[in-house]
Structure 1
């Protein structure tokens, strides 16, 4: 049970810096404008996404967050929609982690 909880925590933390494709944010510490994007990639068995900030990879999310196991997104659109939601949350200064209900609303899981 502890391993499952740790896995879920790791997967949730992996989504912390997700931002919308082409969205720009300002670092409040130094007012620097950063270009943040979501890059969807084909992975074994489906799709995943990377969060890029100023052309550097900060998050690599090859699996659906918030669910146990290593299950990739079924489609390009699913991966993009998940990354976009996380990006929106970050741009609103909210926790970027995704939960089961949000994944259901996006029709990523049933």
Structure 2
């Protein structure tokens, strides 16, 4: 009976070590990808009348130009430079992580972006 417990303990330990190894391998690969693509994108902020626009460039080429706050109804503009910059940085982070640069209302709220 004691042998069964020993086998279960050894099997559990090997399983946990294998899972941890695979997890850390995937985390390291994700970090390496961010480092490679992080420098490809840049952000430019433009003041237009009483609003702000952000532009995302991919290696000096215009990739995204956003004049209005995404994910909200109507054509609401960025009232401050900081709001445009925060959303632009979220977009760049998503592009760097190779995900769609879609902004949600929850992300706007999390970043304290003012909208109606």
Common topology (TM > 0.5) = yes
Match of 1:5 in 2: none
TM-score by length of 2: 0.62
Indicate which of 27, 40, 45 corresponds to 1:40.
45
CA distance in 1, matches of 2:53, 2:40: 20
CA distance in 2, matches of 1:59, 1:37: 11
CA distance in 1, matches of 2:105, 2:111: 10
Aligned residue for 1:25, secondary structure, equals helix
Q: Which is richer in helix?
A: 2
TM-score by length of 1: 0.65
Match of 1:71 in 2: 76
Match of 1:49 in 2: 54
CA distance in 1, matches of 2:74, 2:90: 21
Offset, 1:24: 5.8
CA distance in 1, matches of 2:47, 2:56: 14
Residue segments in structure 2 that go unaligned for 5+ positions in a row: 1-34
Match of 1:87 in 2: 92
Rg larger for:
2
Aligned length: 81
CA 1:56–1:24: 2 relative to 1, 3 Å: farther
- 1:58-109 deviations in whole A, cap 9, x for unaligned? 2110110011211111111110110101111121222210000100011103
RMSD after superposition: 2.1
Contact 1:43 1:62 in 2 (8 A): no
Contact 1:24 1:36 in 2 (8 A): no
